[in-house]
């Protein structure tokens, strides 16, 4: 009823927006070469709010087995339906000089212990932009397409 009184959710004050829950669902080794490679991070973003939101920016840093692999930025807008989870793919380029030779062994495993942190910027139906931090640790499968 409170949302209906505010015009269907458009008038929800930004301070009442619950933080989306950001998880790393899968890492895919897209390419690898002499100088580095690219990982596709499949990031799950769950919107716990009773209103739809728009993700307009997702910035994240990725650590694998306590080695910082790099930072990634997604600026393509994506919908976040109310009380639903959406998966987005965020490419992350890395180079061997930065991640070190130990990273080659890390990328040979079937699963990865990871840590991610960053922020997600969302837009509300009333056109308020809110930047919300996130941090998560866990284990995730590493997918290696044929040939890697």
41-92 pLDDT, tens digit per residue, is 999 999 999 999 999 999 999 998 888 889 999 999 999 999 999 999 999 9
* CA count, 13 A, side-chain hemisphere, 112: 31
Structure pTM? 0.84
Total residue count of the chain as it appears in this document: 148
Calculate what percentage of the chain has a pLDDT beyond 70.
87
Reported as a pLDDT band with limits 50, 70 and 90, residue 3 is very low
Percentages of the chain per state (helix, strand, coil), in multiples of 5: 10, 60, 30
* DSSP H helices in 20-113: 96-99, 102-106
Q: What is the dihedral of CA 28, 31, 32, 38, to 10 degrees?
A: -70
Residue-level pLDDT at 134? 96
* CATH code of the region 12-135: 2.60.40.1820
CB-CB contact of 96 with 103 (8 Å): yes
Please say whether the beta carbons of 45 and 85 come within 8 A.
yes
Enumerate residues 6+ apart whose C-beta is below 8 A from 108: none
65, 106 Cβ separation under 8 angstroms:
yes
Beta strands in the chain (DSSP E): 21-32, 36-47, 53-64, 67-74, 78-80, 84-95, 111-123, 129-143
The widest CA-to-CA distance across the chain, in whole angstroms, is: 59
Decide: 26 and 42 in contact? Cβ < 8 Å: yes
């Amino acid at each position: 009823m409170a949302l209906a009184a505010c015009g269907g959710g458009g008038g929800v004050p930004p301070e009442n927006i619950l933080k989306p829950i950001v998880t790393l669902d899968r890492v895919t080794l897209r390419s690898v070469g002499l100088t580095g490679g690219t990982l596709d991070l499949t990031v799950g973003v769950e919107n716990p709010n009773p209103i739809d939101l728009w993700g307009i920016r997702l910035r994240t840093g990725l650590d694998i087995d306590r080695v910082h692999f790099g930072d990634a930025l997604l600026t393509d807008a994506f919908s976040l339906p109310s009380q639903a989870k959406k998966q987005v793919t965020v490419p992350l380029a890395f180079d061997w000089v930065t991640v070190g030779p130990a990273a080659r062994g890390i990328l040979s495993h079937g699963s990865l212990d990871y840590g991610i942190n960053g922020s997600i910027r969302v837009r509300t139906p009333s056109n308020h932009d809110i930047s919300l931090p996130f941090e998560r640790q866990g284990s995730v499968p590493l997918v290696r397409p044929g040939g890697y």
